[in-house]
Chains A and B, each alone.
Chain A
Amino acid sequence: MSTRLQNGGRLIDRAEQVEFNWNGKRLLGFKGDTLASALLANDQVLVGRSFKYHRPRGIVAAGPEEPNALVALGEGGNYEPNARATTTELFDGLSAKSQNHWPTLEFDVGAVNKMMSPFFPAGFYYKTFIAPRFAWKHVFEPIIRKAAGLGPAPHAEDRDEDTYEYYYAHCDVLVVGGGIAGLAAALAAGQAGAKVLLLEQYADLGGRAPVDGVEIDGKPAQKWIDTTVKVLKKLPNVRVRTRTMGAGVYDHGYALGYERLTDHAPKVAGPRHRLWRIRAKRIVTTTGAIERPLSFAGNDIPGVMLAGSVRDYTVNFGTSVGDRVVVATNNDDAYRTAIALKEAGLDVPAVIDARVVADGELPNKARAMGIRVETGRAISTVYGGKRVTSVGICSQAGEGTKTDEIACDAVAMSGGWSPVVHLWSHCGGKLNWDFDMAMFRPDPARPPLGDDGDGFVLAAGTANGHLDAGAALADAFECGARAASEAGFKGKVAGAAIAASESEAPILAVWSMPQGQSKKLQMKTWLDYQNDVKVSDVRLAAQEGYESVEHTKRYTTLGMATDQGKLSNINGLAVLADSLNADIPQVGTTTFRPPYHPISMGAIGGEASRHLFKPMRRSPIHEWTDANGGFWEPVGDWRRPYCYQKDGESVTEAVHREINQTRDSVSILDASTLGKIIVKGPDAGKFLDMLYTNMMSSLKVGRCRYGLMCSENGFLSDDGVVARIDEETFLCHTTSGGSDRIHAWMEEWLQTEWWDWKVYTANVTEQYAQIGLVGPNARKVLEKMGTNLDLSAEALPFMAFVDGEIAGIKARPYRISFSGELSYEVAVPAAQGQAFWDAAMEAGKEFGISPYGTEALHVMRAEKGFIMIGDETDGTVIPQDLNLHWAISKKKEDFLGKRAQTRIDMVREDRWRLVGLETEEPDVVIPDGAYAIDGTTRPNGVKNMIGRITSTYYSPTLKRSIAMALVEHGPERMGEMIMFARTDGTTINAKIVDPVFLDKEGARQNV
């Protein structure tokens, strides 16, 4: 059994007991424990079930590489699935549950899948996708959905109760990893004078060195670590952050850090996670190495763990993983585990070493302690179900015939160590395969390149392939100093400390245990624990032609789980290389992508959630609208009222009421969201002539003109009314959503094409409130409000404007109309918008004035046949399609889009062009976007389409359904009936008519 030892545990505080909950059971741990170490101390080796076969799975590792111990933490608004027990610090009241099992962890019905495993081979999903459609829908999908998966997603209604934030940091040297190498690199760079930021993912600094018994300057490593941390904290130019993982390295020295602020102390106020957005001149990765499993049969049975992690649990947490631990290895390092276990008073029945000779310092020390060392031997298979019971021993050279069996309850395995090259590789750093050390290590000649073309990442220490502590520390000092120097800091760096550990004999690359493992054993030998990928799966993939490592990965799902193959990738590609008879470097690695370890979505979002997700723009009338029945809809970054609902009124009823009130008397409209851009300068007229399709330079001061803007492709992009304020000043109205885009469009042309033209632009959209008074009684309302202006038809005719005062407020009424009614759009300073609105409401009382929203606006403009950008246009429509020839100048030599409008496709006679439609049955409204069909079909059975609906409404004014559509040869087919298809297969008949349904002569507006 796994249990807490009497003594030891450098990270735990035995004086402080911590209570936590595991699957409803009350358990005890100590302060300083991780959830994993506390579970082991309570003999909870079994922690979950595997993804595909629901096999029992136990804790394998002690760090972020852990593939199995994924648990669900917390409840409700604090619930989090798939948290790693090995990186979860224990706190009082922690509540965790195991995942992916039914009904219980110990008894799982899904484990039947194990018997089905011959039917779930590599490429299972690919193969089933080809299966008949019905089989997929009715057989495979329901079964897979129920069986596969990790922790359930949080309930949709449970909002995350925590907050998150971003933090921006700039530094000269970023050091990722706070082991002895990281401390040394930070020290050297800091002494040189560089601004240094050191990130460490764990709560404590120093890394593995104290666990591995490293000595520095003749003393235990811990002494040097403590001193160095003190020195670093005193240096004003060095910042050290623990519980902060270097998550990713990106172009030009950009890096992400992931700080877990309160995961270990949920009662502390403040954000839970913080995303560090770092820009560094140089990045030193001292990220250490991760141990590889050995590929022997039954290596996924709970109790089989990484040797280094077994040592971590013993030394750091005073926890044994078992009473009798067999060590299996191909290198000297694993002997440290055997020695540590023996020193802790545990039984190590044997070290099974695949190498023929093992007579280095460490194996000899183990032998001297009375540990049985078996060289040239291998584990044939591990026995046990939910826990290891024994291991079979065989010759490493053979096929796996068992010659001996050793009873044990845990296996500590080591297939060697792989440097953590993730951060080096994220941004393009290349790797070399080191045949002697059997590992990929960074190639210093091919680093990721910064904006200056020089390498900006330096891998140092163990992450650079120096598994020996002495070499690692020397390398880290040197890299730290070099990083600072490259960043421009050449201060004096004190001499490097000297580290020493037991010398190690060479590793033997063992990718299969035993060497000639039989097919039967390969089917029980796991590579990827989380995704249930076995040696046999990778061999099958190779056999089926998936020779590229990227293909094999996707075919088998090797390394595609949440651990991203930290344990499995190297072993997997070694098996692939062997299957293909190739060398490992020829096969290569898959791409390392950030983040190194999963980070929370909350941290990625930072503060940008809820009302800060996308800041909203508010018109000066926003509050009033909100308080007076405004039924909001998003328009660009704004909110505009679709309608103003009265008590007991439906949305449709409100819209119809608003239209009738406008047509019969007078209404008020908040048009403040309309874009307003001032274009000013001696060349302003010339510039607008290029921007708009019609002539703007000829516009008289005090007058307005409707204009169209096109892209260089000729397509209609925006429209609006232009007013000439004075000889050199124009005010261009844009659509509500278009002001920023159009302003940028103007600036682009002025800055990059016509930079010698004397024109300035200014976006004044938010400087004005624009309030429309619309309807036959509009003039009466304005006059009643009190004004120094003559608002009569003679003094202020249609398409004119004037400056003056209304209701004591500086005002500029434009006589423009989007409804076809007598209409004044009055611009007033934004701060006085509400006052103007209130005065208009008061003055309009006797005419029954009420506000109208965007839907009434839409219906009324459609009744008049006015186009709407985004309804009648979709980025493929030219003004000519909309019969707007009258707004396209024939006199002008050039304007943006003119050349494109002469292209063959744009002058095609059968382009779909704008028409109005009246349905055969006046009450039937055609669905928006419906296609016009002519009853013929294409060879593939699809109906031929000859047009589509762009706007469609019920008009309360005309008491019938009206629509606008783009139809092939439309304007030449006036009076014809055409059909529109509904999605249910039925059709609607409609007559093609002029799109101006109401008041063609303009009698209503020209009064």
Chain B
Amino acid sequence: MTDFLLENSWIIPIYSLVGALLTLPWSLGIIRKTGPRPAAYLNIVMTLVAFVHSSIIFKLIWTRPAQQFIFHWLQVADLDLVLSIELSPVSFGAMELVTGISLLVQIYALGYMEKDWSLARFFALMGFFEAALVGLALSDSLLLSYCLLEALTLSTYLLVGFWYAQPLVVTAARDAFLTKRVGDIVLLMGIVALSNYGEGLNFSELDTWVEGHQLDPTVAALLGLALIAGPIGKCAQFPLNLWLDEAMEGPNPAGIMRNSIVVSAGAYVLIKLEPATTLSPISADALIIIGTVTAIGTSLMAIAQIDIKRALSHSSSAYLGLVFIAVGLRQVDIAFLLLFTHAIAKALLFMSAGSVILTSNNQNVTEMGGLWSRMPATGMSFVVGSAGLIGFAPLGMFWTYQRWFSGSWDVDWWLLLLVMFVNALSAINLTRLFRVIFMGEPQIKTRRAPEVPWQMAVPMVALTVVTLITTFTPIKWPLWLSPNTPLSLEQPELINQYAIPLLIVSGALGCVIGLTIRVRQAWARSSNIAVRFVQDLLAYDFYIEKLYEVTVIAAVSGLSKLTSWVDRYVVDGVVNLVSLATIFSSNALKYNVSGQSQFYLATIVIGVGLLLWSMLHGQWSIVTNYWSSIM
């Protein structure tokens, strides 16, 4: 039985895909008399099946070596496209995370979306989303991963666009798709090039190929950069980070998935691609630089947000920035731990945020307050989720940092400083949020705030427990990817001794600042111009969006208008003129050819001429009008 399940584990993504397809009768409006909830139940059941299936194999796979299944997709000419999947503790660990969180989120959505008549479409999209994510966890082929990343791009577009009639959704969905697509297309360029250099596109083969390749350094650098472009878009890293902010227009349950699992999916591919980033030092450096810029920038942006979802989503970018740095430093085990811990804690925070939003009909944190005593599940989730993210409380992220700086890995002072910075800002942000949402006096919108119904409360409580339990992951299983423990340094250096105390101090400092800092009042602004400027600068994401508007977007739209104009008035006109001239001058041809052929030509030309004449008969006015109109 278990062997059967193991051999057929490729079917796990199919479950949720089937679930998605089963919703069609409702989402297409074929069943109209009764409601769409069966579609939701079907999807939850499918996800449960996927979760159980992957759990069974996860237990099994611990004791076995990683297995690969190879599927020849397409053999054409000299190209053999192979899709392969890998069954290993890592892939099933990732799959557990995906199916588990997806299951909780879907139950949560049953409560959050209970008033939405398009429930079937929502669950169809969630099913599709989940299928792509599970597939990504299993995939061992760059091509397959690319395909699934694109599927994610599409489902993000559709999920963000779920409330399609809402004006801001219209642009948010478009921007989310296009931003991710930029990354995807560059990644595709990388894949096409890589495939062209004789590479089989399997992650496992990539490793050996990278060591033996003989590429020109420039080409290698470009290739490396192209390959990391996809994850940059997916993980909302600078300069492709803004979509995540905008994507918060979508329904919150999808937002939970997006901020925890989807951004992680991009990073997961990056971890798998890690060998390729060592193609050239430039691509590894690029990862570190991008990660650093994003971590610092988005940490700052997060503390200036007044929208609860946006304050949390910018923080996702910041943590993913740390993951990028870890991958750039080739410390993939740490990257994996960071991803894992962040995903669970962030999912919990977003669930908590969702229930606050639903209860208060509001996302503006400056209009909240005093929820703590009335919403125990929500409040506890927020506290535990925050604790899981801040390297101060002894939960997941703390132990992850501890692993990072304990001496097993080669770390530097700048890295410690950066992590302290991110940690402190994250602490400021989360304590600030906790304070304005749960503490203080209730405001008008939080005056009546009963706790959410069980469909939402149960997943929250469950995930709270999971967050507490998974604290042991970084402690007990710090190595998922490296076969051996990296060599411990004989003599712990100064940095290893001071790192943990310093991180605790940074976290504590952040909490203190977060608790004491003056927070913005609802609909009131500081009168100090400098404060306002900084606030706005951060709140509007350093005006990066505006920058894009006046550069890239303006360029594309200007260019397209120009080409369109040229097309309409120049190309059309000139070609019309030339073709007219050619028709008449083609008669000249017949003087150049001789004998038999000349006769043929004359016949045909005359024939075509007659043909034309007979067709144009009676329509000369159109012809003359036409030519006079363009000349």
A binds B: no
Interface residues, chain A, with chain B CB atoms under 8 Å away: none
Interface residues, chain B, with chain A CB atoms under 8 Å away: none
